[in-house]
């Protein structure tokens, strides 16, 4: 989107390929000048941003070519980013010269203040915190209130949070409010997240609570920030209270929040990764096992509270006249496991199914782990254990699919874990052993049927 459409994206890819093939600096500069001279402003700036994001040293000559283009307009963000890259690469003199030239061309105090904010953000993002603090000192030395109004304070808060200075960012937020400028939920969220990342949960909670004093309604963004911070600290008790508060305020969990909560539940994470024979195959089984086996006191209650909210499942399920589809894109392995249990329960309630039922789990293109797609592997294993008729589509290896009649028959059957959840009486061993043979035969049948591809 930033590069302005498919053709611009392809031309940017060609540029990167050409630059990789160049041997000398002169050849690279010729390619850069040719690109900037023939492409639109939007395409050229997108390519510059890409080079800066990749910390490519060629971003510097590219920026010089951009400054000579007829459409060039000076940008505080780009100038700060190039200066930070120069300093990170050891070219301190060139960096300081660029900063001085840029500051000299700024006519207003507001523009200079914004430039300092951008420099703070750019240098801190490259680990140059001492230099970022120098720019913060120059910003604080400017007359107060800072010129530029709310826009300057918003940029200042963002930069301070990037530097990890939560207390300073909160003070800037207070000053902004005292001057009559209205921050939005994003600024409060930045400060709260900065506290949360540092493990200062009480301060994070205070900032979130102050949103209502500023007349800002709690939204999904701020709610997710709190969940992410509780998740990082595995504060299940506080997470449970927060989920209940979200339900009371009618703030529904999102996919991100769903991932945050479940990824912080060690017992569920272990279940989804190990897939041992006692893996719960329904949401009710999962909660019962957590209550009896989890060493974390509030883990079961957290999962139960999350299961009570159906918003994530509703968004992940796509109903049409011809198909009902569960889309697992964006979910972690643990979240995908729990969501599938919710999904099967939902299918059992609503028997008016369309012609096809499918689970879209992808082929692992967006995964950090190489090899077999983990979500697809999980989906196949969990569905296989329940005797599900869903099989990999012959046309789409990231999709499991089955026809309505076979799914209805499957949903009408009962299934449980291959190993009982609890075994308190030795007399039950014989009956458990009797169940092993049918389970084994069912697994063998599923194994051989997996070699027969489905048409879609």
Q: What is the DSSP string of 263-294?
A: HT-HHHHHHHHH--TT---SHHHHHHHHHHH-
What's the Cα-to-Cα distance from 349 to each of 156, 282, 325, 340, rounded to whole Å? 52, 13, 16, 14
Contact criterion met (CB below 8 Å) for 300 and 262: no
Query: Is 402 a domain residue?
Result: yes
* Alpha-carbon separation of residue 166 from 32, 54, 160, 455 (angstroms): 40, 28, 7, 56
According to DSSP, residue 146 is labeled: P
With a pLDDT cut of 90, the percent of the chain lying above it is: 67
Average pLDDT over residues 274-293: 93
Classify residue 254: in a domain, yes or no.
no
> Could you give the 3-state DSSP secondary structure of residue 354?
coil
Position 75 in a domain: no
Residues 6+ apart with CB under 8 A from 339: 258, 312, 313, 316, 326, 328, 331
Query: Is residue 23 over pLDDT 90?
Result: no
Is residue 192 within 8 Å of 154, Cβ to Cβ?
no
Find tokens 């000299």 and name the residue.
104
Beta partners for 399? Answer: 360
For residue 399, the SS3 value is: strand
Averaged pLDDT, 31-46? 91
The answer as to whether 314 is a domain residue is yes
Q: Residue 433: which pLDDT band, with cuts at 50, 70 and 90?
A: very low
What pLDDT digit, counting tens, does each position of 344-361 carry? 988 888 768 889 999 998
Q: Does 388 map to a domain?
A: yes
Contact 87, 130 (CB under 8 A): no
* Residues in contact with 6: Cβ distance below 8 Å, sequence separation at least 6, in sequence order: none
CA nearest neighbour of 54 among 88, 24, 10: 88
* Number of domains into which the chain is organized: 1
Report yes or no on 328 lying in a domain: yes
Statement: residue 3 has pLDDT above 80: no
Specify which residues 392 forms β-bridges with: 400
Indicate whether 432 pLDDT > 70.
no
| Domain membership flag for residue 233 | no
What's the start-to-end Cα distance of the chain, in Å? 32
pLDDT category of residue 147 using cuts at 50, 70 and 90: confident
What mean pLDDT do residues 203-214 have?
92
Q: Express the helix, strand and coil content of the chain in percent, nearest 5 each.
A: 65, 5, 30
Instruction: Considering only CA atoms, give the Rg of the chain.
Output: 28
Is residue 316 helix, strand or coil? helix
Question: What pLDDT score does 146 carry?
Answer: 86
Contact 124, 83 (CB under 8 A): no
**Which pair of structure tokens corresponds to residue 285?**
């089984």
Residue 1 pLDDT > 70:
no
Domain residues for the domain of 404 are 310-363+373-412
Contact 326, 340 (CB under 8 A): yes
Render pLDDT for 77-114 as a digit per residue (tens, 0 to 9): 999 999 999 999 999 999 999 999 999 999 899 999 99
> For residue 393, what is the DSSP state?
B
Residue 239's CB is within 10 A of a number of other CB atoms, namely 26
Question: What are the b/e assignments for 199-210, b being 16+ CB within 10 Å?
Answer: ebbebbbebbeb
Residue 133 lies in a domain: no
CATH code of the domain in which 387 resides = 3.30.1370
Q: CA-to-CA distance for 222 and 214, rounded, in angstroms?
A: 14
Half-sphere exposure of 398 (CA within 13 A, CB side): 13
At 181-194, the pLDDT tens digits run 989 899 999 999 99
């Amino acid at each position: 989107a930033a590069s302005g459409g498919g053709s611009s994206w392809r031309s940017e890819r060609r540029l990167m390929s050409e630059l990789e093939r160049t041997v000398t600096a002169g050849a690279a500069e010729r390619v850069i000048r040719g690109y900037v001279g023939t492409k639109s402003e939007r395409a050229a700036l997108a390519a510059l941003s890409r080079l800066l994001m990749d910390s490519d040293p060629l971003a510097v000559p590219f920026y010089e070519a951009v400054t000579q283009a007829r459409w060039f307009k000076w940008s505080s963000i780009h100038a700060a980013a190039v200066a930070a890259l120069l300093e990170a690469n050891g070219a301190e003199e060139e960096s300081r010269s660029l900063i001085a030239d840029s500051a000299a061309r700024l006519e207003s105090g507001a523009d200079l203040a914004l430039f300092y904010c951008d420099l703070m953000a750019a240098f801190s993002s490259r680990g140059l915190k001492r230099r970022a603090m120098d720019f913060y000192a120059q910003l604080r030395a400017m007359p107060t209130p800072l010129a530029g109004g709310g826009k300057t304070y918003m940029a200042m808060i963002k930069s301070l949070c990037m530097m990890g200075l939560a207390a300073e960012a909160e003070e800037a937020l207070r000053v902004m409010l005292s001057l009559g400028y209205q921050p939005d939920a994003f600024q409060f969220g930045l400060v709260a997240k900065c506290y949360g990342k540092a493990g200062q949960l009480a301060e994070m909670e205070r900032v979130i609570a102050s949103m209502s004093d500023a007349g800002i309604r709690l939204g999904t963004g701020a709610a997710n920030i709190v969940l992410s911070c509780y998740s990082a600290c595995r504060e299940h008790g506080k997470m449970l209270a927060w989920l209940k508060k979200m339900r009371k305020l009618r703030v529904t969990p999102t996919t991100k929040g769903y991932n945050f909560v479940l990824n912080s539940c060690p017992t569920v994470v272990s279940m989804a990764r190990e897939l041992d024979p006692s893996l719960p195959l329904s949401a009710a089984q999962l909660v019962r096992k957590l209550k009896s086996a989890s060493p974390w006191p509030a883990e079961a209650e957290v999962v139960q509270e999350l299961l009570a909210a159906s918003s994530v499942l509703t968004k992940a399920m796509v109903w049409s006249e011809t198909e009902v589809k569960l889309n697992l894109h964006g979910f972690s392995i643990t979240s995908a496991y729990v969501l599938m249990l919710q999904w099967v329960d939902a299918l059992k309630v609503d028997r008016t199914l369309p012609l096809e039922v499918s689970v879209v789990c992808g082929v692992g293109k967006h995964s950090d782990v190489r090899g077999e797609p983990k979500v697809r592997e999980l989906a196949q294993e969990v569905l296989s254990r329940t005797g599900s008729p869903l099989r990999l589509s012959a046309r789409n290896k990231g999709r499991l699919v089955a026809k309505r009649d076979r799914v209805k028959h499957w949903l009408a059957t009962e299934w449980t874990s291959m190993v009982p959840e609890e075994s308190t009486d030795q007399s039950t061993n014989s009956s458990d052993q009797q169940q092993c043979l049918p389970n084994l035969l069912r697994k063998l049948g599923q194994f051989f049927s997996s070699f027969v591809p489905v048409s879609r």
